[in-house]
Chains A and B, each alone.
Chain A
Amino acid sequence: MSTLRMFRKKPDDPGFFGKLGFYFLLILGALVSIFPFYWMFVVGTNDKGAVFHVPPLLTIGDQFFENFKRVLDKSDFFQALGNSLFVSSMVTISVVFFCTLAGYAFAKYEFPGKNMLFVFVIATLIVPQQLGVLPTYVIMAKLHWIDSFKALIVPAMVNAFGIFWMRQYISSAVPTELIEAGRIDGGGHFRIFWRIAVPVITPAMATLGILNFMTVWNDFFWPLVVLKNKEHFTIQIALQQLFTTRDGLDYGMIMSATFTATLPLLVVFLLFSRWVIAGLTSGAIKS
């Protein structure tokens, strides 16, 4: 686009100032989006008083390790991080495996009740999580799973969204002829799934995995309900615990912890952002 054309107004063209307004709004939106991340870091690297400095402090300080040391005194930060990593990984591996299997069956097999069962799967998406929370808690208590990772992992091992999302992808990405050819060659059902389907649909599995990992990593309500002991806390609960400290709020400490806890996910997201966003948009709404 030449500069000359930017100034010549066509009936359809918003013109130079229109364009300026466009970019102004877009950049403003982007700044609002990322400012809290920066702010987290600013507070986390400055001393205690920095949060309520007037005018607001916007420069990065050098107190990060001091602040973070207090985090380690007050909480089992790295243990909590490890717990989150463990729970999220277990859930994600399981979700990806079982949802892919189920999605594959719904996409490529014929069996009585298939449509009805699939509609049922979709319908479960609408039911709010809180509706079943109390009895689920009681079940966990009966199983003696309260305060154990099993309570977090087992109920989440497969979910409706994942099945839906994998089915959509598999229907279009895996040619039925390929599967039939595999059958004719005498391959077992699981073997065909593993050797023929899975390699083709790895991108979809990766997207599902990342989306799921983020959801589990960020979950707060259910871990809050079932986890009792400090050593089992996930990172979200550990962060919240720092915030409830009675002896005055030490924001430098809180933010150094929050930032450190956010960083891994941020890095993963930035590395895989294309997949995440593509997954989100194609998985969310499709006929």
Chain B
Amino acid sequence: MAEPVITSPHAESKRPFFTEQRRSRFTAYTFISPFFILFSIFGLYPIFFTFYLSFFKWDALGPMKYVGFKNFELITTDPTFWISFSNTLIMGLMGTVPQVMLALLLAVLLHSGMTRFKKTFRILYFMPNITSIVAVTLVFSTLFGNNGMINWLLNGIGLESMAFNSGWWGVKIAISTMVMWRWTGYNAILFLSGLQSIPMDLYESAKIDGANRRQQLFFITLPLLKPFIIFVSLQSTIGALQLFTEPYVFLGQSGTGSTRQEGITMVTYLYSEAFRNGFFGTAAATAVLLFLVTILFSVLNMLISRGGGRQTGGKKA
């Protein structure tokens, strides 16, 4: 690290306030200050203000009125909030769990020695992620239309059409599919880089010890991939709880916005409370609850991944 370099020819003679050390510290603080300044204004302050705001009745224009826990009471007695809450969890689960497993499978396939065109596959799998969610949603809303391709395929294999844009399950399936399409490849690439960081000689020595492919997978690959699995599932969980654009765009086709019950999520609820109805207090309370739920699920996620890792891992790596 930058040891104070006191060899500057002027340092001795001038004996200035700015010694070399002070100058270098000052420079460092200057270099990092843009982040801290901007974050204080547009990050930290708003976060604290949200907590404060959740105890007030406010329409963002007039005076604020202290109401205590009334906002929390209001939203927790609002059936729509609970629908948005359960929707978020259901779609989160539907979009995340299969997605992470699929991503893991794809990564293992891509990593296996015999795969050719590895780079091409990586690019193809990553492509969904660069598309905007709005574009993804528009494309999928044609595929999931009443007479759309998915229903055509369902009919083709002898199943009945599903109301993907209005049915309770239909909407959830459609939205979680969009989430999966966008993120599976992305996560597979993350897993792949994790797999590539595992030293090959571990597998060599396991082979000498007579471990077959399955055993190698369960006793070497998965345990060593654990940090990546934790990271990916954590990121996916947090992302799933913040689901907004897909339901908003997908259900917005009637022009009424997306407070439709089949697909309303916590963030859509927050958005419509604040920017449609002008209830900033209850919206802030929703944000606080969303934050608490996020923390809860992150901790839960950590505990599960840790426990799961120990089970499959057997011995500590």
Most B Cβ at <10 Å: residue of A34, A36, A217, A274? A36
Hey, which chain A residues are within 8 Å of B304, CB to CB? Answer: none
Given contacts A111-B28, A179-B2, contact A12 B60 (CB under 8 A): no
> Are the C-beta atoms of A105 and B228 separated by less than 8 Å?
no
Taking CB atoms and an 8 Å cut-off, the chain B residues in 245-300 that contact chain A are 245, 248-249, 252-253, 255, 267, 270-271, 274-275, 280, 283-284, 287-288, 290-291, 294, 298
1/0 contact trace for B134-160 toward A, CB 8 Å? Answer: 111011111101111100100000000
Inter-chain residue pair count (beta carbon < 8 A): 296
> Are the C-beta atoms of B121 and A132 separated by less than 8 Å?
no
Given contacts A22-B112, A52-B147, A130-B270, contact A98 B34 (CB under 8 A): yes
Q: Cα distance A155–B42 when bound, in Å? A: 6
CB-contact partner of A39 in B9, B24, B124, B139, under 8 A: B139
Q: Cα distance A7–B181 when bound, in Å? A: 35
Question: Interface with B: A64-72, A200-208, A262-270, which one?
Answer: A262-270
> Are the C-beta atoms of A135 and B45 separated by less than 8 Å?
yes
Q: B312: CB under 8 A from chain A?
A: no
Taking CB atoms and an 8 Å cut-off, the chain A residues in 77-118 that contact chain B are 98-99, 101-102, 104-106, 108-112, 114, 117
Hey, which chain A residues are within 8 Å of B138, CB to CB? Answer: 239, 243, 254-255, 258
Question: Interface with A: B66-74, B76-84, B91-99, B125-133, which one?
Answer: B125-133
Hey, which chain A residues are within 8 Å of B105, CB to CB? Answer: 25
Q: Cα distance A193–B213 when bound, in Å? A: 50
> Are the C-beta atoms of B253 and A243 separated by less than 8 Å?
yes
Q: Cα distance A155–B249 when bound, in Å? A: 25
Closest to B180 in A: A32
Closest to A179 in B: B2
Q: Cα distance A246–B270 when bound, in Å? A: 25
Chain B: residues with CB nearer than 8 A to chain A?
A: 1-3, 5, 7-9, 23-25, 27-29, 31-32, 34-36, 38-39, 41-43, 45-47, 49-50, 53, 60, 105-106, 109-110, 112, 114-115, 119, 121-128, 130-136, 138-143, 145-149, 152, 181, 185-186, 189-190, 192-194, 207, 212-213, 227-228, 231, 238, 241-242, 244-245, 248-249, 252-253, 255, 267, 270-271, 274-275, 280, 283-284, 287-288, 290-291, 294, 298
